[in-house]
Structure 1
Amino acid sequence: MAKATSVKLKLLIDTKTKKVLFAEAGKDFVDFLIYLLSLPVGNVVRLLSEKTMVGSLSKLYQSIENLQEAYFQPKQNKNSLLNPIVPIFANATKIPLLLPADYTQTLYLCDLCYLFAYVPDLPCPDCGDVYGEGFVKGMVTYMVMDDLEVKPMSIISSITLLKRLHVKVLDALEEKDVNVGMEEGLKLLKASMECKTVLTSVFISNLGA
């Protein structure tokens, strides 16, 4: 397995309702969330395993795994279906990877045109800008909602959100710093497929808030 690193996340928790209102996150965590969107279904099933998967995809995966090669078309590779290679981005070593290194391939992104390249520091053929790392730009603080909605963070947006959530007792709000590593990453992936209170589901029970 690829060596797991961790990223920092600051949670704003309503201790009265025991819910995460939102998280203050940097580029690394948002890149990680977007990375989850790039995972093929086969990898998701393999990562979560049969015991933790919701629905019938694990049974489909297991049946394909047990199906003899003789039933596949000559040019089809069963292993490539069950363990597809996932493109990752240059800064993926800074986020908790969920896949073995053998199943990943590094890509680079043009921040202006959103074109991809396999080699870093090349000029983009459309705009001439150099291919950068990751999905979103750094030097920006992002607000991640409990349901994983992502938006740039600002004082106005924070106040508006608290008003929309009908938060009246500010003394009930508490900040918590958490680390997100491979274990938390898997829990986030699983929770994102099961509910709309992902951050609360993953972190509140662990924090004892």
Structure 2
Amino acid sequence: MSSDGESTVAAKLFIDKEKKMVLFAESDQDFVDVLFSFLTLPLGTIVRRLGKQSQVGCLDQLYNSVEDLGEDHFQTKPCKTMLLSPRNAAAVHLDRLKVEVDGIDQTHFYACKRHMGYFSSVPDVGCPFCGTMDITIRECSEKDTLDEIFVQSRTKFIITDDLQVAPSSTALMFSLMDKLGLQEQANIEEVVLQLNSNKLPENFLAEQADEAEPMFKPIKIRIIQSKDGTSVLYAEVGHDFVDIFFSLLCIPIGSIIKAFGEWSPSGSIDNLYKSVNKEACVKQECQSLLLSPKLPPFFGCSSNVLQVEELPPRSVAYYNHEVNPKEPVRGGTCRAYIKKGSTNFMVTDDLHISNFSLANSLKAIRAAKIPKEKLVEKELTLGKTQVLKLLRAAMLTRGALAACSCLSSSIS
């Protein structure tokens, strides 16, 4: 427990006193459960929890774009809420952690008192009949009394500085000391770290083959770039492009790693993902929850290019009709966040998305300080492979359009 009464989980850090670096940590299952829970977090939750300062590729700009874009571009008002505060399909498990990692209570739902049976996981969704959800219900787990959440109940775990997790043992400790070149125990200092909801680990943060997917429709965009290929100013895109990239904020981290094989060579989250299957750390029934996290009902987009499975509509208590927050009229099956229409959007190199206008276009050209005669415009058709490359670039760099060779090479 912290000094202000907030719950904490502890880990003992083993530090090289001479090099002043963390070698590894030892903790109980509470701390490790928190670490593994990160794999279930949607990308938008990471951005929100880090105050839009995640520094993860273009995600901060995508999040800001959702905030800035007018509600009239979305299917419904709740669509913005879904993207800015995405639900977690593993919310019942996260509710049992000793440290809150999501930042909002996701076990509460909104229901209609007049038309019993209708409810939504998103605020501001209206009942299909009376337009009001006026009571709150809570989803409870039948296993709330169990101590185990994700990991097997063990005495201690060892966590390396790059987030590899394994059951604690003398053999493993000696192996780490040999690997790290530690000859004398006197060089090691022990420090206890208390982790709460406001203090997350700082080091938290193979390309997929192109598979046939009948649901995916090629996307047309127009790229404006310097003729010499050294600078990408912006792209002019339609609702289909925006829908895919905004929906990235709802995808859990574990699903991203599953889709691309790895996240980033400089990150440690890949090692945490691989630790799920290592030496039976995680309970067997929870492995798929961490390795292939699903989306909550209705949180997918119109083109599931990353092939993340979405849970079917569910029942909570006596309420068995979950309302689609994206559906502006009763009885529809809308999957998109963004309205279809003739409106185009402007996407800058760092994936900030806004309304397309001549004013915004001229502003981008002036900022680039490139004469008009040295610019080129070209229409491109992006297939699934190219969209996947661009999505990956969005998580690895802050200049996704320029970094994605599938775009720049087409204009050379």
Determine if contact 1:91/1:133 at 8 Å carries over to the other structure: no
Counterparts in 2 of 1:121 and 1:51: CA distance versus 1, 3 Å: closer
1:191 is matched by which residue type in structure 2? N
Partner of 2:150: 135
Counterparts in 2 of 1:104 and 1:14: CA distance versus 1, 3 Å: farther
Partner of 1:13: 15
What is the CA distance between 1:88 and its match in structure 2?
Answer: 3.2
Corresponding residue to 2:101 among 98, 121, 132: 98
Higher normalized contact order (CA 8 Å, seq sep 6+, divided by chain length) = 1
- Aligned positions of 1:27-176 closer than 5 A: 27-73=29-75, 77-86=79-88, 87-90=90-93, 92-104=95-107, 119-121=141-143, 133-176=148-191
Counterparts in 2 of 1:23 and 1:67: CA distance versus 1, 3 Å: same
2:191 is matched by which residue type in structure 1? K
Asked which structure has the greater CA Rg, the reply is 2
Partner of 2:197: 182
2:91 is matched by which residue type in structure 1? I
Determine if contact 2:158/2:168 at 8 Å carries over to the other structure: yes
How big is each residue's C-alpha offset from its partner over 1:3-43, in whole Å with a ceiling of 9 and x where there is no partner? 84101111111101111111011100000001111110111
Counterparts in 2 of 1:163 and 1:24: CA distance versus 1, 3 Å: same
How big is each residue's C-alpha offset from its partner over 1:130-152, in whole Å with a ceiling of 9 and x where there is no partner? 97741002233100000111011
- Aligned positions of 1:183-198 closer than 5 A: 183-185=198-200, 188=201, 190-193=202-205
Q: Percent identity among equivalent residues? A: 31
What TM-score do you get using the length of structure 2 for normalisation?
Answer: 0.38
2:142 is matched by which residue type in structure 1? P
Counterparts in 2 of 1:180 and 1:13: CA distance versus 1, 3 Å: same
Determine if contact 2:91/2:106 at 8 Å carries over to the other structure: no
Distance 2:72 2:267 in 1: 42
What is the CA distance between 1:104 and its match in structure 2?
Answer: 4.7
How big is each residue's C-alpha offset from its partner over 1:162-182, in whole Å with a ceiling of 9 and x where there is no partner? 011111132111111221112
Partner of 2:28: 26
How big is each residue's C-alpha offset from its partner over 1:29-60, in whole Å with a ceiling of 9 and x where there is no partner? 00000111111011111111234534321111
Q: Provide structure 2 residue ranges, at least 5 long, that are not aligned to the other structure.
A: 109-138, 206-263, 270-412
Higher helix share: 1
What TM-score do you get using the length of structure 1 for normalisation?
Answer: 0.71
3-state SS of the aligned residue for 2:50? Answer: helix
Distance 1:180 1:75 in 2: 36
Q: Provide structure 1 residue ranges, at least 5 long, that are not aligned to the other structure.
A: 106-116, 123-129, 199-209
Distance 1:84 1:48 in 2: 15
What is the CA distance between 1:91 and its match in structure 2?
Answer: 7.1
Distance 1:6 1:150 in 2: 20
Partner of 1:127: none
Counterparts in 2 of 1:144 and 1:89: CA distance versus 1, 3 Å: farther
How big is each residue's C-alpha offset from its partner over 1:99-157, in whole Å with a ceiling of 9 and x where there is no partner? 3343357xxxxxxxxxxx953149xxxxxxx9774100223310000011101110111
Counterparts in 2 of 1:21 and 1:196: CA distance versus 1, 3 Å: farther
Determine if contact 2:37/2:94 at 8 Å carries over to the other structure: no
Distance 2:186 2:23 in 1: 14
